[in-house]
């Protein structure tokens, strides 16, 4: 089918790709081979050429450092520092070259990162893709149930009273339950002997938990309850704990904040 050809004598409005071709100004184009269409309206900018970055280094055992990068992405860590993240299909590892344009330092292996996950990626079809967002890279690994996505990047702030990590952090990009940390239904913050603690119970659980904020140590009560459903602080500094299935209408237990031992039992009738 023949198409109408219009000569553009005054090309000053750029390339317009979003509206229908029939709705754009006459002195515009819907597609261009050498003009970047993803710019501000009315701005003409050439399509950027492919950028090539080089770096070199030596290994501690002598000789050049050879690396194979199947997929790459970059992190602009700050104004002057750029990190390169790459995936090697041969060993299925997610690696990083820190300060690529300055003093490069290649880190690989799970011990080089903050976090507890392995840098080895499980991808059933070697379908790893990398996407940068802010100061982190999101690694997609495929659609199979074993293909767990990864998160690799820099964290600016410490958590739970700790310091911010000094190295890059590698974690699974998913929400997972910490086996050693209970899912608390009711929590109370309390300072005991100049130490900060969080006390808590699980909904319909069996124990009172005490968590040291500074060390992360978790201690549970020696008393095993039937169904913990309520926790409150008493005026004398102890705790009241309600066990909904101890007795006909439940039972209130008074517990010490130091030992978490039961000091008083009130059965509800």
* Per-residue pLDDT at 23: 67
* Per-residue pLDDT at 27: 66
pLDDT confidence of 59, banded at 50, 70, 90? very low
pLDDT confidence of 37, banded at 50, 70, 90? low
**Mean pLDDT taken over the chain:** 80
* Per-residue pLDDT at 55: 55
Between 155 and 115, where is the model more confident?
155
Assess contact for 95 and 67: CB atoms under 8 A.
yes
Closest among 120, 115, 122 to 136, alpha carbons compared: 115
Work out the average pLDDT over 35-64.
61
pLDDT of residue 28 exceeding 70, the answer is no
pLDDT of residue 200 exceeding 50, the answer is yes
First to last CA, the chain: 89
What is the separation of C-alpha 182 from the centre of its chain, rounded to a whole number of angstroms?
21
Chain segment 121-176, per-residue pLDDT in tens: 777 677 788 999 999 999 988 888 788 888 999 988 887 677 888 888 888 888 77
pLDDT of residue 199 exceeding 80, the answer is yes
pLDDT of residue 217 exceeding 80, the answer is yes
pLDDT confidence of 26, banded at 50, 70, 90? low
Assess contact for 168 and 154: CB atoms under 8 A.
yes
Assess contact for 226 and 243: CB atoms under 8 A.
yes
* Per-residue pLDDT at 240: 96
pLDDT of residue 207 exceeding 90, the answer is yes
Between 203 and 70, where is the model more confident?
203
* Per-residue pLDDT at 70: 77
State the Cα–Cα distance between residues 147 and 161, nearest whole angstrom.
33
Instruction: State the CATH class of domain 186-267.
Output: mainly beta
Q: How much of the chain exceeds pLDDT 70, in percent? A: 70
* Per-residue pLDDT at 203: 94
State the Cα–Cα distance between residues 3 and 92, nearest whole angstrom.
50
pLDDT of residue 268 exceeding 80, the answer is yes
Strand order in the sheet with 71-76: 71-76, 82-88, 93-98, 105-107
Work out the average pLDDT over 100-121.
70
* Location of each CATH 2.40.10 domain in the chain: 186-267
pLDDT of residue 98 exceeding 50, the answer is yes
* Per-residue pLDDT at 45: 73
* Per-residue pLDDT at 172: 86
């Amino acid at each position: 089918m023949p198409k109408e050809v219009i000569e553009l004598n005054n090309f000053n409005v750029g390339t317009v790709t979003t509206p229908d071709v029939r709705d754009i100004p006459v002195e515009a184009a819907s597609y261009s081979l050498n003009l970047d269409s993803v710019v501000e309206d009315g701005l003409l900018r050439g399509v950027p050429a492919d950028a090539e970055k080089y770096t070199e280094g030596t290994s501690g055992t002598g000789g050049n450092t050879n690396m194979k990068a199947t997929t790459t992405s970059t992190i602009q860590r700050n104004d002057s520092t750029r990190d390169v993240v790459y995936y090697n299909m041969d060993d299925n590892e997610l690696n990083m070259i820190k300060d690529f344009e300055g003093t490069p330092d290649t880190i690989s292996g799970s011990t080089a990162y903050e976090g507890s996950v392995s840098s080895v990626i499980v991808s059933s079809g070697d379908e790893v893709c990398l996407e940068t967002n802010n100061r982190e890279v999101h690694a997609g690994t495929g659609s199979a149930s074993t293909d767990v996505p990864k998160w690799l990047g820099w964290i600016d702030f410490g958590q739970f009273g700790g310091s911010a990590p000094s190295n890059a952090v590698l974690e699974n990009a998913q929400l997972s339950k910490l086996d050693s940390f209970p899912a608390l239904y009711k929590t109370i913050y309390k300072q005991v002997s100049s130490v900060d603690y969080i006390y808590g119970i699980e909904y319909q659980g069996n124990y009172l938990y005490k968590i040291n904020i500074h060390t992360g140590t978790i201690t549970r009560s020696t008393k095993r309850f039937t169904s913990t459903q309520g926790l409150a602080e008493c005026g004398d500094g102890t705790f009241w704990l309600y066990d909904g299935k101890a007795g006909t209408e439940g039972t209130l237990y008074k517990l010490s904040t130091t030992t978490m031992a039961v000091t008083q039992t009130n059965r509800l009738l």
